[in-house]
Structure 1
Amino acid sequence: MQNLLKLFAYCGLIGMTFGCNQVTDEQMEIKNYWPEAGVTYEIFIQSFYDTDGDGIGDLNGVTQKLDYVQELGANAIWFMPLMPSPSYHKYDVTDYKAIHPDYGTIGDFKRMLDEAHKRDIKVVIDMIINHTSDEHPWFLEAKKGRDNPYRDYYVWAKYDTIQDYLDKKVVTLDSDNIRQWHDLGQGEDYYYGFFTGDMPDLNFDNPKVREEIYEIGRYWLEEVGVDGFRLDAAKHIYPDDRAADNHAFWEEFRAEMEKIKPDVYLVGEVYDMKEVVAPYLTGLRALFNFDFHYTLLEAYKKQDGMLLAKKQYNILAFYNGITDDFIDATISSNHDQPRLLNELGKSKEKLKQAIAILMTMPGAPYIYYGEEIGMLGKKPDPNIREPFLWDVASVDEGRPTWITPKFSTDRTVTPLAVQRKDADSYFNHYKGVIKLRNSHPALAIGSLELPKSTYPKAVMAYCRKAEGQELFVFHNLGNKQVEVPLPEGFGQKVYALKGVKVQGTKIILPAYSSIVLGK
């Protein structure tokens, strides 16, 4: 965390106080604070922008739309899998050092990367190493027999040793697969695939496998030049009962990657409660905060404003008890959850407030492509990953057509080109609230403090502090207007959403409204 301490103080420094002199917006541009506090935009290339007319988004399409990412205010892009794979989602890799031909070539990727870096946009790619595709050359060799040199690249067991596990019926948080040992049909060994039989797990007890993975990481960092990796299924490198081995592996992985790129960004997917997630911080400096997403939704359902603020405070305190060198990767949605607007009952008011909450809370927030234009989507997963609507259908030549959208259509979602012209649109709201965060260090990298005062149940209240700045934030998550006292010393309205009024010593908060106050 040394680099960040040079800047100010990160959210792990809970409860620390600073001087509170007001700072001008020009002095507070924080675009270079990534990854500690920057905004990352998640893209599913297949659904983003198509330049060759095959109905599938591609890397050249991303290159054409980098100015859009910059306009939105994001500091980085996370790409969902882009390596060769037999599936549409590409989470089962067949070649770790190539680009899926539907998306382009390594040359296309490098050109995109160069253009992104020219715009100060970092690039993070999905790295799927818990498993490969069952069509990967390693597995094709491993299937040939017990004596094949690649056999030990995967996890095997004889039938009579795993009988008790063959009819497993436990569904985990991140997999609904109920049968994790799979039969080759050869009358002998079963192989382990935590997610599906199409995705056989690699055997990380084999040092050759670990070295293969490190070499793949070196390739993308050194020869290609990416800025980091999003590590899929980081909790499942080893079985759940070997958590200590998982932690040790990621520490080793981080050390190997930092030999190549000392500032490499590693963000892990560990889908669990904070007590399970936190020990991974010694290897994976950044971890997704799934609790943020689910607690935000729960707070709206219960109209309980402090539910999320208290949860976030406790998570940061817990993490800080393990290490002060961590990044809390907050999310309001991603490619595995129903679209946020669906989760919020298609309420425009709630969606606008939800992003205001995300951008005024501590952490390094992620935005899932299309959320900023109010895209819709529910399970199954392909319908959460429908094509981005750039313009009205009659002129939107780059809109991918690989899937017929069920939720995000011209009848249900206003395309970006139209929203740009509407000051009240989702897009302009997202753009504005991201700019708010990017111009106030207290919001981007400040500590989180909870007030001692008691407010109406629907009110979320917290203070954000960074060196030279202190801000007080209120959100009314309820469907009725409430009043709260104006905090002493906070007389400047920095930001307001939905008609908030300050009258004397009180603040009037309409339903689903927010205000940020400064000194």
Structure 2
Amino acid sequence: MRRLRCAALAGLLLAALPAAAVGAATDAGAPPRTPPAADSSSGVWYEIFVRAWYDSDGDGIGDLNGVTRKLDYLRSLGVSGIWLMPINPSPSYHGYDVTDYEAINPQYGTLADLERLLDEAHKRGIRVILDLVANHTSDRHPWFLAARDPNDPHHAWYEWAGPGADLQSPSAAGDQAWHALGNQHYLGIFSGGMPDLDFDTPAVRDAMTEVGRYWLARGVDGFRLDAARHVYEDFPDQVDDPAVLRRDLDWWRQFHIALAARYPDVYLVGEVTRDRPEQLAPWYGSLDAVFDFPLARQLIASARDERAGGLPALLARIAQAIPAGRDAPFLSNHDQERVMSQLAGDARHMRIAAAMLLTLPGEPFLYYGEELGMRGRKPDPDLREPMRWYRDPHGPGQSRWKAFSTKDGPRVSVEAERDDPRSLLAWYRMLIGWRRALPVLRDGALQVPALANPRLAAWQLRDAHHDALVVHNLSGTLQTLELGRSRLGRFQRVRLKSLPGARLADGRLQLPAYASVVLE
């Protein structure tokens, strides 16, 4: 479905472009990409902080070859794509202040290492997207170093305070907006080390488009777009300004057009930190998907409280606002406290949160270590700790980029959980396997039936071949759902169940504590 959407999009957009623009966008002469051997059908993405993942050369820092070495682990988990947090050169540990958009952080390896990773991932049917930090550069980027001179052409690549600017203004991101540089002040909505690019300058748009083409030509399948809404949304009074939103959307639409003209399967998912589905909906005209932040908060709240709460109403609004099968749900990421920490270490609540996430349509994203139950609270470095491969944290290949801040212990590790059928890792494998076994869980149109029992969460999914009902018992006690005399009476067979005690008989569904089922 994604391929058809993108191909159709590219055809329509190419028809709308002048001949000169088409020629420029086709990136003639670029080597053909090697596509994945086959689309893996779970639709699940996995976020990796390379520094924390797996160390292949013994220097204590995770690297690209380490990602390659662990592709079979990812395949066994069942994911169909990976998102690599920034891999470009950067003065920071996290990489969100780039100094060279067309190079690899030498701590992570080389361009050849990335190409090897892409080839091996594609052989396994795994797509790879990169974090693209387009809103701003590092203050050490050669563009900004040149821009310090008002007479240099690069000066126009960044945003500078004009007469009358409020130099004490906060930014839309909550930090100081303007930063002094001699007698000048430049915009950096996240920090002074991250000066904002000016996308009203055509050369900036051209340069960023070329960055996208550069990586796609080398086999990358798309991008996670960092701070997508902040290309133009810089100050608090712009947050709900329709004109500012249109400018953001227009830029990303043009970017998508230029990339899809040569690479129709390119996948673009945006970080759009808004609170309501209706605020996310406009972005689907420019991007393939945006992360569903309101749903993430509600899924965790429903699991923690053992009550559906606002989930049914939110899902109904998502069904109205977001195209079927195109949501990007998740539970946590590198900026948020880990799910197990948000749930106070309750593994039962973690399991039901995962079950809800992985039975919703769209392409869900998992944060590395989530499938093990890793914990992590702020500050940010503690959210990005080394992946736990072994019971012994000093095992071969274990990243040592920072010390562990939690007391998870040896049981929270791949080694301890890999062969344990009762482990959280096994639970995630099962649920991801459901998405492969029943494609309607990925692509189905979502409907939300009204249930009187607040301890149950349920939704219907329908495509051309399947009509399914998903039901979750959020509580620690047996729950019953009467189906026979309702519109749900047509669901008469249990297709999938997470626990053995779930059963359907005479129109009555009985669900054990924290159990989930898919009915047909």
Question: Is residue 461 of structure 1 aligned with residue 440 of structure 2?
Answer: no
Equivalenced residue count is: 476
Question: Is residue 299 of structure 1 aligned with residue 302 of structure 2?
Answer: yes
* TM-score using structure 1 length: 0.87
3-state DSSP class of the match of 1:475?
strand
Cα deviation digits, residues 391-423 of structure 1 (max 9, x gap)? 122662111111001026535x52111211211
Q: Which amino acid aligns with 1:384?
A: L
Question: Is residue 225 of structure 1 aligned with residue 219 of structure 2?
Answer: yes
Cα separation, 2, equivalents of 1:182 and 1:504? 69
Paired residue for 1:434? 432
Q: Does structure 2 conserve the Cα–Cα contact (< 8 Å) formed by 1:306 and 1:459? A: no
* TM-score using structure 2 length: 0.87
Question: Is residue 476 of structure 1 aligned with residue 470 of structure 2?
Answer: no
CA displacement at 1:352 relative to structure 2: 1.2
Q: Which amino acid aligns with 1:97?
A: E
Paired residue for 1:202? 197
Q: Does structure 2 conserve the Cα–Cα contact (< 8 Å) formed by 1:460 and 1:474? A: yes
3-state DSSP class of the match of 2:61?
coil
Paired residue for 1:153? 157
CA shift in 2, pair 1:136/1:395, >3 Å = closer
Gapped runs of 5+ residues in structure 1?
7-30
Cα separation, 2, equivalents of 1:5 and 1:109? 28
Deviates further, 335-344 or 81-90: 335-344
Q: Which amino acid aligns with 1:258?
A: A
CA displacement at 1:309 relative to structure 2: 3.4
Paired residue for 2:247? 245
Q: Which amino acid aligns with 1:244?
A: R
Q: Does structure 2 conserve the Cα–Cα contact (< 8 Å) formed by 1:221 and 1:260? A: no
Taking every aligned residue pair, what percent have the same amino acid on both sides? 41
Q: Which amino acid aligns with 1:511?
A: A
3-state DSSP class of the match of 1:275?
helix
Paired residue for 2:270? 268
Q: Does structure 1 conserve the Cα–Cα contact (< 8 Å) formed by 2:168 and 2:177? A: yes
CA displacement at 1:363 relative to structure 2: 1.3
Question: Is residue 110 of structure 1 aligned with residue 115 of structure 2?
Answer: yes
CA displacement at 1:509 relative to structure 2: 2.5
Q: Does structure 2 conserve the Cα–Cα contact (< 8 Å) formed by 1:305 and 1:476? A: no
Q: 1:142 aligns with which of 127, 144, 147?
A: 147
3-state DSSP class of the match of 2:156?
helix
Deviates further, 286-295 or 126-135: 286-295
Q: Does structure 2 conserve the Cα–Cα contact (< 8 Å) formed by 1:455 and 1:484? A: no
Q: Does structure 2 conserve the Cα–Cα contact (< 8 Å) formed by 1:305 and 1:475? A: no
CA displacement at 1:306 relative to structure 2: 6.0
Paired residue for 2:22? none
Paired residue for 2:326? 327
CA displacement at 1:71 relative to structure 2: 0.6
Question: Is residue 58 of structure 1 aligned with residue 63 of structure 2?
Answer: yes
Q: Which amino acid aligns with 1:436?
A: W
Paired residue for 1:494? 495
Question: Is residue 423 of structure 1 aligned with residue 421 of structure 2?
Answer: yes
CA displacement at 1:201 relative to structure 2: 0.2
Q: Which one has more relative contact order, counting CA pairs under 8 Å at least 6 apart?
A: 1
CA displacement at 1:379 relative to structure 2: 0.8
Q: Does structure 2 conserve the Cα–Cα contact (< 8 Å) formed by 1:41 and 1:78? A: yes
3-state DSSP class of the match of 1:483?
strand
CA shift in 2, pair 1:270/1:191, >3 Å = same
Cα separation, 2, equivalents of 1:135 and 1:392? 40
Question: Is residue 69 of structure 1 aligned with residue 74 of structure 2?
Answer: yes
CA displacement at 1:195 relative to structure 2: 0.6
Alignment map for 1:149-188 (pairs within 5 Å): 149-158=153-162, 160-162=163-165, 164-168=166-170, 175-177=173-175, 179-184=176-181, 186=182, 188=183
Q: Which amino acid aligns with 2:135?
A: N
3-state DSSP class of the match of 2:191?
coil
Gapped runs of 5+ residues in structure 2?
7-36
Deviates further, 391-400 or 284-293: 391-400
Q: Which amino acid aligns with 2:212?
A: G
CA shift in 2, pair 1:408/1:229, >3 Å = farther
Q: Which amino acid aligns with 1:87?
A: S
Question: Is residue 211 of structure 1 aligned with residue 206 of structure 2?
Answer: yes
Cα separation, 2, equivalents of 1:408 and 1:141? 47
Paired residue for 1:358? 357
How large is the RMSD of aligned CA atoms in angstroms? 2.2
Paired residue for 1:410? 409
Q: 2:289 aligns with which of 276, 286, 294?
A: 286
CA shift in 2, pair 1:408/1:233, >3 Å = farther
Paired residue for 1:16? none
Cα separation, 1, equivalents of 2:333 and 2:40? 19
Alignment map for 1:36-47 (pairs within 5 Å): 38-47=43-52
CA shift in 2, pair 1:167/1:245, >3 Å = closer
